[in-house]
Amino acid sequence: MLQPGTPFPDFALANQDGKLTKLSDFAGSWLVVYFYPKDDTPGCTIQGQAFTATKADFDAAGVKVVGVSADDVASHQAFCSKFSFNVELLADPEEKLIKACGLDQTEWKGMFFWARTTFIVGPDGIIRRTYEKADPKASESGLLQEIKELQALQG
């Protein structure tokens, strides 16, 4: 698992609209990258809804948010459409970024998925915080507050 102080892995992944999104697109911005197990499952829906509800607050603080799973573009598109998500979801069906981040697998209902993990990445591309086995019901406002504290420390 990647830890604070290390660079976030470079990536180029398609989002729910099929548009290629790269790490370099976020250069100079704070970034939250949250990995979730599977589209249209209970915890992942809760997490997506929470980030959608707080997106304006993250935007106002200059923080970008992206979700990543091993689901494909079509699955992400259906998931976003069904729940009116306004957060960008990146498709990693070959699990390249997932593996580069060193995520653990977890079991749910007899199936194995990548563990829910959240990274806070600074504007320099360096990981500032890592949250393993993140709670989908965790407060996004608490996460945003922590980023604001990190921003204040940076000056």
> Which residues are the active-site residues?
44
Task: List Cα–Cα distances, 37 to 110, 140, 149, in angstroms.
Answer: 13, 18, 29
Task: List Cα–Cα distances, 68 to 96, 150, 153, in angstroms.
Answer: 11, 23, 28
Helix (H) or strand (E) holding 69: strand 63-69
CA distance 37 to 140: 18
Q: Which DSSP string do the residues of 112-141 spell out, in sequence order?
A: EEEPPEEEEE-TTSBEEEEEET--TTS-HH
